[in-house]
Structure 1
């Protein structure tokens, strides 16, 4: 989390949100604070997830649109969290910070299952197939979704502020900036229809779901936006390769990528037909994720906090962007 936001996020703000959702004010556990503050909270000994977002990251209307879509997917049988109302009957609550900005909060059900590390035995073809099945089901259902709020919509993919790379990356990274703009122009020319483009999660890596041994349960819809469905195929592949194949050579990475995709696509097609031209689009969306990851790492992690592993990752991503190469 940026240091300016950290300075505003006080115990009193957390307490106000716990109060308005009738959660235990003394018993809670912080789970994360990269782009949002995420807590496991409790009411009558039952666990919930409280997510707090600063207004510099998301507008109130954006969060409202997100949680409505998540509830819609939940109601259609997609394995995603249920969203709970506050004591005031709201699905998004707000509290003002001392500088006049706002924090927004929503409460979700806690996903069943457990997190699976990329090095775990369970990170295998059975999981990859379940991964594809879950995303295929989500894509099938999102085609029929209509936002109910006239003033609350999720952004289009190219409204993502991280794509303004010149705002975050070093000035010396001129080729990164040039190649990013060229890639965005190429993507903007891709055709759109309801079977290839819609509201999607955009960030379903292994850190954003739990696995119960049979199904995956997806959470963290903070980055959801209107995008090509093929991007939701590219992102699982991207992160599986990024973290599983850190030290692998090109042949090993290619072999694992094929293993992953074969199982993932088998599961996906059980629930939804593959989007037209997904194979042509896949390398483009893999390159796009390099851009957004490169940008967010510079935005969120101060120079003094970057360890050698992170610096190596930044170097590898930069090289791919400059060479117009994808990770697979």
Structure 2
């Protein structure tokens, strides 16, 4: 969390948020990247998640649009951590900070289950099929959601925008070339819309054969295939083995993802052929994210190595895996 945000987030704001939603809240924040996340519970003891976001990260209309979409997706039967309304009937409650800025409080269902990763026994084709099916259900549902001007188009994503204006000429040129190419792809109704855009295995819990997706903070208008590319990207980012072994795993994973995805929604083969573009796009975005977060700080050696690998791929116009 940025230092200026930390300075104005007071315990009284947390308690104000809890009162708005009628919950008891644990005061120790859970790990989060852009917002404060707290475990809470209602009077019956049922668990909830209370999220508090600063206005420097998202405006009130942006968060309201996110929560409206999430409520809609839940109504359409998509397996997401649905939002709850406050005592005043609002999905988002505004909390005024002492410096004239504000925070936005939202309440969500507590997703059952746990995180999974490549060391788990269930990290297999069955999981990947379920993962793909969940992505397909989300894309099927999003086609019926009315357009909102309060969620960004993919070119407006914060870190991609930084890459497009980056002082590093090589990085800026690589970002500009890739964005120009992707921008020429057709925006078909069955292939472009409001998507999660960060559907990696850190953003869902697995329980009894089902996934529950959360963290729609990066909700944006993007090509549907981007969600599948993100799954592949983060599934191999820290995977051990040779490039050939990573390529083989990614091909196997994509086969299973597509099998599940197509039970809910169909994309043509031409869209699957574009996955390398979106893998390269994620390299550029992640490079800027890591660089920004550690600006002026000492970066762990392992992360330095990851950054060097990403930079080499950007320089060579090479995706993280070859499909």
Q: What is the TM-score when the length of structure 1 is the normalising length?
A: 0.93
CA distance change for structure 1 residues 109 and 21 in 2, over 3 Å: closer, same or farther?
same
State how far apart, in whole Å, the 2-side matches of 1:166 and 1:275 are: 30
The separation in 2 between residues aligned to 1:179 and 1:168, in whole angstroms, is: 11
> Does 2:252 correspond to 1:253?
no
1:62 is matched with 62
2: CA distance, partners of 1:135 / 1:164: 26
Determine if contact 2:178/2:281 at 8 Å carries over to the other structure.
yes
Give unpaired runs (5+ residues) of structure 1: none
CA contact (8 A) 2:164 2:176 kept: no
- What do you get for the CA RMSD once the two structures are aligned? 1.7
Matching of residue 43 in structure 1 with residue 38 in structure 2? no
The answer to whether the 8 A contact 2:36-2:52 is kept is yes
Instruction: Say whether the 8 Å CA contact 1:83–1:106 is kept in structure 2.
Output: yes
Map residues 306-325 of structure 1 onto 2, 5 A cutoff. 306-325=299-318
Report matched runs for 1:1-328 at 5 Å: 1-25=1-25, 27-44=26-43, 45-147=45-147, 153-166=150-163, 171=167, 173-243=168-238, 245=239, 247-275=240-268, 277-328=270-321
Aligned partners of 2:53 and 2:104 also within 8 Å = yes
Distance across 2 between alignment mates of 1:298 and 1:98:
30
1: distance between equivalents of 2:310 and 2:50? Answer: 33
Alignment CA distance shift 1:302-1:12 (3 Å): farther
Q: Distance in 1 between matches of 2:104 and 2:127?
A: 34
Q: CA deviation at 1:216?
A: 0.9
The number of equivalent residue pairs is 320
Cα shift readout 1:107-144 (whole Å, capped 9, x = no counterpart) = 01011221112221111111111000000111111111
SS at match of 2:29: strand
Secondary structure of 1:285's aligned partner? helix
User: Structure 2 regions of 5+ residues with no counterpart?
Assistant: none
| 4 and 305 in structure 1: CA distance in 2 versus 1, 3 angstrom threshold | farther
